[in-house]
Chain A
């Protein structure tokens, strides 16, 4: 700022004063914008408009890869198509059988819990979305999808693929939305170890496929190969969706906490499509929106309701709003480039298919489905005390 009004800033006699003065103005303006965006969240509408303006460029930029994908797909041979068709048909048959089983189990579960009817599935509506670009910005794990506010997408909405959790939306534009992946270091997802029921927080590892469980004591009952499912706390994801599998556990007698890493189940590198999910509000298995709404007993036994959420770990689901599905028309756009098979949007009973599909990945189909794996059962979460308190 030494050049303020001195000869050093003089050689360009343009409008608006010396470079030092103009720089000062712009810097102040930038800081004000940053403050407004960060603290007060006044700029959500501005961001909405800017994201709409950026969308054409993003589309153009991502067109070469998608064009390449389209060319590759349209020149597939007849044999490979036939093989794929065969595989899809087999898989569909399997899924149908399993969904029958699932309905029976859900009914039985409902009866066991003394409800009059079996609960409807927690997922009310699915919407496939195409990935426009992966890794929006360098080392962050972000994603841009081609659905936005016009499709009813809202901020902090859960995003899945057919194998597991992908992330949640952070910024929503009119036709596009930004998704933060569960592997982003800024993201934390409340999970439960499926084998033991122990609850903890999984933080993104930052390398595209791994997560870390930093809040487990070193004597915690966890081992390599354990499945992590969402615990339903935190207000964004419902209970029971598969998240990751534990890959390594380091216990150090000196350290109070175990060092645990897990591998995300979703295959974001291979996906071309993800699923946006709307959950039923008031459903026992739907994400507990806040401590207040969680204590309000909607139906069933009061003792079976989800507990109030513990203090959340980090920035991720910071101020989670009540997951209110907007009453947008069910826009089940036909899948354009489905490579991985069971697109729940096209399955006969869309809402029930994916969880079972997931359990097929994680357990042999003939094994009795544990209540933890069917998303419509909040049964076991509240009964055991949270043995690990994050933070």
Chain B
């Protein structure tokens, strides 16, 4: 069993990889399909190790996301805190579900996350009304089983 410190180190590492995947320049058509890797990572850790991850991780990752691509500081931080809170609260219920049902839950959470970002975008006067912005929820739910498998490998469950 790993200590919380070791766990946090691994979490930070996977979050960094997810961040790089998130800000990697991609062609436009691929860019709108790109899943929100950092959100998925926060979601995974909040569900599976709520003690080491949790809302603080969500907030920090969101703040980093804001620095890279937010029109306002704190926007993604708030949205990801909410995501992490939902995940921590419901972690036992989500964890026990089979992969397909987990994907459905993840889809719902991603839509909610995007809605929060969308709303804050609008309130702060930086609206993006293109329906393409919701597309990543679908791809995110689609890649969730794979992402969860990779992350659980990094957690040391299979190794």
Chain A contacts to B: CB under 8 angstroms: 3, 8-9, 11-12, 14, 19-20, 22-23, 26-27, 29-34, 36-38, 43, 46-47, 50-51, 53-54, 57-58, 60-62, 65, 133-140, 185-186, 206, 208, 315
Q: Mark B56-71, 1 if CB is under 8 A from A, else 0.
A: 1011001010011111
Chain B positions 27-85 with a Cβ under 8 Å from a chain A Cβ: 28, 31-32, 50-51, 54-56, 58-59, 62, 64, 67-75, 77-78, 81-82, 84-85
Extra A-B contacts (13), CB below 8 Å, given A11-B92, A139-B128: A22-B54, A30-B62, A33-B73, A38-B72, A53-B67, A54-B67, A57-B19, A57-B20, A61-B20, A61-B25, A137-B68, A138-B31, A185-B127
Q: What is the bound-complex CA distance between A222 and B50, given in angstroms?
A: 62
Residues on B lying within 8 angstroms of A by beta carbon are 19-20, 23-25, 28, 31-32, 50-51, 54-56, 58-59, 62, 64, 67-75, 77-78, 81-82, 84-85, 88-89, 92, 120, 124-128, 130, 132-133
Whole-angstrom distance from the CB of A33 to the nearest CB of chain B?
3
Docked complex Cα distance between A61 and B21 (Å): 8
A153 CB, min distance to chain B CBs, angstroms? 18
Q: A34-B124, A62-B25 are in contact. Are A138 and B32 (CB under 8 A)?
A: yes
Chain A residue numbers with a CB within 8 Å of B67 are 47, 50-51, 53-54
Q: Are B88 and A19 in contact (CB under 8 A)?
A: yes
Flag if A33 contacts B55 (CB, 8 Å): no
The DSSP consensus for interface residues of chain B is helix
Assess whether A30 is in contact with B78, with CB atoms less than 8 Å apart: yes
Report the nearest B residue to A2, measured CB to CB: B89
Chain B residue numbers with a CB within 8 Å of A9 are 89
Q: Return the contact of A27 from the options B31, B32, B82, B89 (Cβ within 8 A).
A: B82
Task: Establish whether residues A136 and B77, one from each chain, have CB atoms under 8 Å apart when the complex forms.
Answer: no
For residue B109, give the distance in angstroms from its CB to the closest CB of chain A.
15
24 cross-chain CB contacts under 8 A:
A12-B51, A12-B54, A20-B85, A23-B82, A27-B78, A29-B77, A30-B78, A31-B78, A34-B73, A37-B72, A37-B74, A54-B67, A57-B20, A57-B23, A61-B24, A133-B23, A136-B68, A137-B69, A138-B128, A138-B133, A139-B32, A139-B130, A139-B132, A140-B69
Chain A binding site: helix, strand, loop or mixed by DSSP?
A: helix
Report whether A30 and B89 are in contact in the complex, using a CB–CB cutoff of 8 Å. no
* Interface pair A137/B70, CB less than 8 Å apart: yes
Contact flag A61-B23 (CB < 8 Å), given A19-B55, A19-B89: yes
Contacts A58-B23, A133-B25, A186-B126 known; A12 to B88 CB distance under 8 Å?
yes
Q: Are A43 and B73 in contact (CB under 8 A)?
A: yes
Min CB distance B129 to A, Å, is 8
Alpha-carbon distance A136/B73, docked complex (angstroms):
15
> Which residues does chain A contribute within 8 Å of B126, judged by CB atoms?
140, 186
Q: Specify the chain A residue showing the minimal Cβ separation from B19.
A: A57
Residues of A within 8 A of B62 (CB): 30
- Indicate whether A208 sits within 8 Å of B28 (C-beta atoms), given known contacts A27-B78, A30-B78, A137-B69: yes
